Amino acid sequence: MSFTIRTLAATAAIALAMPAFAQSIEVQDPYARSASPTAKTGAAFMHIVNTGEADRLISAASPAAELVQLHTHMESGDGVMQMVHVEEGFDLPAGETIRLERGGKHVMLMGLTEPMEQGATVSVTLTFENAGDIVVDVPVDLERMPGDMDHGAMEGMDHGSDDTKAE
Ligand SMILES: [Cu+2]
């Protein structure tokens, strides 16, 4: 019994600590894609602009997928790029922009509840350590070409399989 009460008190304290005014985080140019109409996984990309204090993207959620994780790509010893679940989230330094893009950081959508269709919109809730929750309507764009940061070799491991396994 006392455990429950303490837990509720802690939750209230966290809620009070959150800023109640203008958000200093802005999401620009979001889009989501999957490799094929039958793919069970997809990913969301965007630029996250932080005009305020240092913050951290700690998690993401979406009704469009059973499991949502923050991923990045890291090069393993033999030069092969691998997708990695970043459990601590993405650092968002004060006044900086982080770019979620193909071949790099991304919001991984695993177990899509329905296929991603061109022109549809996927709702993604980003949870920040300080700024709290920001809901982003992410348009599905299957035709978007990889950006300049992408290299041809990376395309092969870009969520290309129907395998629901993430890593
Ligand atoms: Cu991923």
What six digits make up the tokens of 69?
Answer: 């994780």
Contact 105, 150 (CB under 8 A): no
What does the pLDDT look like over 125-138, one tens digit per residue?
Answer: 999 999 999 999 99
Distance 49 CA to ligand 1 centre (A): 21
Distance 43 CA to ligand 1 centre (A): 7
Distance 86 CA to ligand 1 centre (A): 10
Distance 148 CA to ligand 1 centre (A): 19
**Surface-to-core class of residue 30, CB atoms within 10 Å of its CB (0-12 exposed, 13-18 middle, 19+ buried):** buried
> Which residue, among 84, 30, 89, has the nearest Cα to 55 in the 3D structure?
89
What does the pLDDT look like over 8-35, one tens digit per residue?
Answer: 555 555 555 555 455 799 999 999 999 8
